[in-house]
Structure 1
Amino acid sequence: MIELAEVIRELRSELDQAITHAAGQNLRFEVGPIELEVTVAISREASAGGKVKFWVVEADGQGRASSSTTQLIRLTLEPKLVSTGRPPEVSGQAGDQER
């Protein structure tokens, strides 16, 4: 399992890469709301002032998690650029690969 925060960090990184690769492209796509649906396991630390953590259940691990400890959550993320407050734009060409 991985933390929900890590999933969101990775999504942000992927979008940032797409924006970077869009530089100089004539055709751009505005990124609209992103709907993320994940199955999470919830854990609570027992120490004083303990925190609740949300762990994303990986596809191969779902058979091992009990249904009483997992929940399906849906998040709608609306990405905005810090510099403009507007939704980002991405583009690319078919066959583009990471460099």
Structure 2
Amino acid sequence: MIELATVIRDLRDELERAVVAAEGQALRFELGAIELEMSVALERSGHAEAKVRFWVVETGAQATVDGTSTQRIRLVLQPTLTGSDKTFIGGDVEAHEG
């Protein structure tokens, strides 16, 4: 499992790389709403500083993870670039290792 925040951070990193790759390209794609659908497990800590964490479950995982039931969620993200009206992606993006 991976934290939902990590999934979104990694998506942001990939999109930023695609935006950079689009600079100077004749063919570019305007970036619109991004829809993510995933299975998540909800974890609540029982400490005084109670926190809720969402974990993204790998495809094909069982309906329960360590006794925690999973739910399907759909997020719609609207990406924007600071100081820009439009965001374009395109070009070749090298594989990201990390």
Match for 1:34: what amino acid? I
Unaligned runs of 5+ in 2: none
1:2-37 Cα offsets, whole Å, 9 max, x none, are 000000001101100101111111221111100000
How many Å apart are 1:63 and its aligned residue?
A: 2.2
Equivalent position of 1:88 in the other structure: 87
Q: Distance in 1 between matches of 2:71 and 2:93?
A: 35
Q: Alpha-carbon deviation of 1:64?
A: 6.5
Partner amino acid for 1:27?
L
Distance 1:19 1:54, change over 3 A: same
Query: How many residues in Structure 1 have an aligned counterpart in Structure 2?
Result: 94
After superposition, the CA RMSD in angstroms is 2.0
Q: Deviations over 1:56-98 (max 9, x none)?
A: 00125x12725961100000000011122x3411112xxx351
Name the one with the larger helix percent.
1
Structure 1 Cα separation of the partners of residues 74 and 63 of structure 2: 22
Percent identity, aligned pairs only, is 50
> What is the TM-score when the length of structure 1 is the normalising length?
0.84
Runs of 4+ in structure 1 over 3 Å off: none
Conserved in 2, the CA contact under 8 Å of 1:32 and 1:87? no
Question: Which has the larger share of strand?
Answer: 2
Aligned to 1:65: 64
Q: Distance in 1 between matches of 2:23 and 2:4?
A: 30
Q: What one-letter code is carried by the residue in structure 1 that aligns with 2:13?
A: S
Where structure 1 has 5 or more consecutive residues not aligned to the other structure, the ranges are none
